[in-house]
A and B are shown apart, each in its own frame.
Chain A
Amino acid sequence: MRSIISILLLAFIAWGIVTVIGEIPFGTEKSRVGGHYVDQGREETGASNIVTSVVLNYRGFDTLGEVTVLFVAAIGLGAALATRRKKEKREIEPASLVLYTGCRFLFPLILLFGGYIFIHGHLTPGGGFQGGAIVASAFILVYLGCRGRRISETVSKTIESLGGLVFVVVGLVGLAVGGHYFLLNFLPKGELNTLFSAGIIPILYIAIGFKVGSELAGVIDHLMEESE
């Protein structure tokens, strides 16, 4: 009964969508704004990955919000899961030597890969979020493989805070030096397609990378805390 009603209602909505989707033909150019970014993006921001330039420069304010969302979620998750922790150390069966060594061997490599992704965010696909996620997955590996090893909460909190602060401060510096514009790309744009280009974009992406990495790792950490 319930599912029939649901399907009926969804069918109505689908009907509505069908009427409007015809006006959004697939595969055609629709956006003047997008075209502008593609045409002007290189000159205006100095990043060769236009998505990155949109994410961090044209729509940088969204990204600040996005970083904040993740921050809120991490904090909120901590608050929600904050119980009076009983510090009874259960005996954890240690992982086998092969697994342990493998994890320890892979961990810096994955970190390095994540770092590469977010440092080259303005040049190649990828960026702070993807790199951060990869960094976090390195920590997951450590949690799973090398039981008992934890990221220090102090360190992760510091990194989170600093990452956010860097973003805000860079933005405010833009406001200060450039007059009325928050998040102004005030640094020299550099030469296209080189690592040191695109002004503030790499700085922001590195900050985001660290922040996202530590936050996602922290999320996993919090969630796994009691399951052991």
Chain B
Amino acid sequence: MVFSQVIHFLQNHIYYIGAFGLIFIGLLIILVKHNLIKVIIGLSILETGVNLFLIAVGYISNGTAPIFSNPSVETQRMVDPVPQALVLTAIVIGVAVLALALSLAIRLYQHYGILDLRQIREQKW
């Protein structure tokens, strides 16, 4: 009984758990870690989590991909294409931000010789 309840719960929530798990772990990395590269890794995990969440929102149980490669596909149970489009955009934006962040990290390292954000504090107050 408990097992089937657990299965039911998992069926309904496992993607959300995964998505928000990633989001919170990502945020935690950004909050707690002070190595710049590590923070950027956190950002990457955060973004992945957000994307997963968006796709999960658009899913329809037992749906099919929204592609009419063979004409027999019924339209009733196609998953929502909009979140997929959004996530495509979000992924590209994510990679843009990450690449920029890493390039800035490289420059920062050239200037300071360290990546510890606690010590890179010339701009303050």
Contact = CB atoms under 8 A, between A and B. Distances in A.
Q: Do chains A and B touch in the complex (CB under 8 A)?
A: yes
B82 to A, nearest CB: 5
A81 B96 contact: no
Given A3-B32, A31-B80, A66-B93, A49 B103 contact: no
Contacts of A83: 110
Interface of A: 2-3, 6-7, 10, 13-14, 17, 21, 24-31, 33-35, 37-39, 41-42, 48-51, 53-55, 58-59, 62-63, 65-66, 69-70, 72-74, 76-77, 80-81, 83, 123-125, 127, 129, 192-193, 212, 216, 219, 222-223
Interface string B9-38: 001110110001000100110011000000
A123 B15 CA distance: 28
Closest 9 CB pairs of A and B: A73-B96, A34-B80, A27-B61, A50-B66, A48-B68, A6-B31, A54-B85, A50-B81, A77-B103
B114 interface: no
Contacts of A51: 66-67, 81, 84-85, 88
A80 B96 CA distance: 14
A21 B16 CA distance: 9
B82 A34 contact: yes
A25 to B, nearest CB: 7
Contacts of B31: 2-3, 6
Contacts of B56: 26
A185 B60 CA distance: 29
B81 A70 contact: no
A2 B78 CA distance: 45
A158 B12 CA distance: 49
A29 B60 contact: yes
A137 to B, nearest CB: 13
Contacts of A216: 95
Main secondary structure of the interface of A (DSSP, over half): helix
Of A33, A38, A48, A81, most B-chain CB atoms within 10 Å: A38
Interface residues of B, number: 48
B81 A38 contact: yes
Main secondary structure of the interface of B (DSSP, over half): helix
A48 B58 CA distance: 19
A26 B59 contact: yes
B104 interface: yes
A77 B100 contact: yes
A219 to B, nearest CB: 5
B60 A28 contact: yes
A190 B107 CA distance: 50
A28 B88 contact: no
B80 A193 contact: no
Interface in B59-86: 59-61, 65-69, 71, 75, 78, 80-86
Contacts of B32: 2-3, 6
A32 to B, nearest CB: 10
Contact of A38 (B69, B75, B86, B89): B75
A125 B59 contact: no
B120 to A, nearest CB: 16
A162 B56 CA distance: 36
19 contacts: A6-B28, A10-B27, A24-B57, A26-B12, A28-B60, A30-B58, A38-B78, A48-B67, A54-B82, A55-B88, A63-B89, A73-B100, A76-B100, A81-B107, A124-B67, A125-B65, A192-B71, A212-B92, A222-B103
